[in-house]
Amino acid sequence: MKNRGKFIFSFAFLAFASALAGANGKAEAAGQSEVHEITYVSLDAGRIVKKDNPIVAVYEEKFNMHLNMELLDGDTLKQKIPIIVASGDLPDLMRLENYDIFDYVTQDVFLDLTDRVGKYDNIMEHVDPRAWDLTAYRGKNYCIPSTNYTGKYTTNIRKDWLDNLNLDIPETLDEYYDVLKALTFDDPDGNGKDDTFGLGSEYAERFMNFMNIFGAYGGMAGFNVIKGDEIVTFDISDEYRDAMRFIHRLYEEGILDPEALIQKQAQGREKLVQSKIGTFNGWWSIVPQVLTVNLKMPEIAPEAEWAMVPPLTGPKGDSGMMQRNLVCYTAVISKKTREADTILDFLDYLISDEGTWLAFLGKEGEHWVQTDHGKVRTELGQKCFEEKWLDVLHQTVFRSDINLPWYCEQNPSKAPYVIKAQEWGTIPEAFEGIVTKEYQQYNGEVKKYTEESFIRFIMGDLSLDDDWNEYVTQWKSRGGEAVRQSQLAVYNGNKGTSLSFRN
């Protein structure tokens, strides 16, 4: 399989080489300098490569380059990148997701940018300083990281049901329990049937559906959380066990939809649309976009009104939703490329205000116009955007400080969800971006064991009293202890601290 993958990629490079010969021939005929041929592989993110893309052409002309792009869907990209890296025949430029760079940086295939990026003013101005540290490998930077806002989640509740029962939006964990119980047993929709559950699921990943409950106990499933001069591994903490006791109670009393622990995401969303569920946790866009627009809930349940629930305050005053990774993408350059300077010039312009607006909205006057309501897409701009080629370069180096305000300005009905997800408190992972060899070796098995055990604890197959110690022992012996100790060593080394685990 490795040889076949290498052959396919090498064949693609022959095509690129042919294109290069043609491009250089045209340049020479016109008396221009040699065109810089840049190969670029990235996640498609729902976009497509358009031949003779007029937006891409602006960058190509500005930097006298020919950008050969290959966009891949997520599954294909995850399969192909290891083959590309192992072959050593990398494209000149690649965009990787989150912290995937650590899966490959040890193979010495990426260009060291540590001493290069300092002379690029736009890169230095617009890359979050924290991202350089999070993506550094042994003190060196092998990528240009892009960041996004870390607050992405909201807890949503049927406001019309609360009004029917004369209930307020809950603020504490105890109030949340009382409201969930009422939304289950007090006929909140007034149809005279016992057909609702207080709490349902939207995510296929089980832990995500209970993040507000975990936050009320001061942690988050799968996270290591700093508490003073100690670090708490939440998955083996007393707080995690207390959170599971609360969730188990909801399950036992019939308040939690029992299928929430096993159903697929589409099933969970269907129940929301069919008015079977009173509350759920989700990405900020689920209510204003997925339920309202995509699944047409206003047509199916016109009486439905959703409101947001602030992070719940727990028994010790803790609260918070899950914090997303700060780093969302990284742009890496092949160590073998001859076009490093051109690529960095291109990326430096792309991350500037002018370069970002061009990549995001297209050409002013043609694809967008300036109005009293900000930058607004023209009819042509909207058409090109819907054809999925207009903003194909936009996420190469991402400017969330431009993207998010524009989105809120142009989508006032969705803006409150975006803003609240940012304003409300979040709980961060202490070891964000620390990917050790132990993490790579064991984390998948540990995560699988933890999630399976969680479901068994909630359903009552395992006892939170009798089986807890064995669970913790197994969690550590299956690699959890090796993973967290290796991450702690790196964390303390990077930060110059001497933190230790509380549990």
Q: Domain segments of the chain: what residues?
A: 2-147+329-398, 153-322+429-501
Cα 56 to Cα 347, 361, 403, distances in angstroms = 13, 12, 19
Instruction: Please check whether the two domains, 2-147+329-398 and 153-322+429-501, share a CATH topology.
Output: yes
What pLDDT score was predicted for residue 25?
A: 45
Q: Residue 37 in contact with residue 13, Cβ under 8 Å? A: no
Q: Are 354 and 127 in contact (CB under 8 A)?
A: no
Distance CA 96, CA 42 (A): 7
User: Which residue in 123, 490, 489 sits closest to 331, CA to CA?
Assistant: 123
Residue environment code for 267-294, b if the CB has 16+ CB neighbours within 10 A, otherwise e: ebbebbbebebbbbbbbbbbbbbbbbee
Contacts for 257 with CB less than 8 Å, ≥ 6 apart: 197, 199, 200, 201, 271, 276, 277
**pLDDT of the residue at 23:** 47
Largest separation between any pair of C-alpha atoms in the chain: 81
Amino acid 13: pLDDT: 42
Please tell me the predicted confidence (pLDDT) of residue 471.
98
Query: CATH homologous superfamily of domain 2-147+329-398?
Result: Periplasmic binding protein-like II (3.40.190.10)
The CATH superfamily label for domain 153-322+429-501 reads: Periplasmic binding protein-like II (3.40.190.10)
Q: What is the pTM of this model?
A: 0.78
pLDDT averaged over consecutive 10-residue blocks of the chain (503 residues)? 39 43 44 85 91 97 97 86 90 93 90 97 96 89 95 96 98 98 98 97 83 97 95 98 98 96 91 97 93 94 98 97 94 97 98 98 97 94 95 94 92 92 94 90 94 96 98 98 96 88 96
What is the distance between the alpha carbons of residues 403 and 109, in angstroms, rounded to a whole number?
31
Measure the CA–CA gap between 144 and 123, rounded to whole angstroms: 8
- Give the pLDDT of residue 4: 37
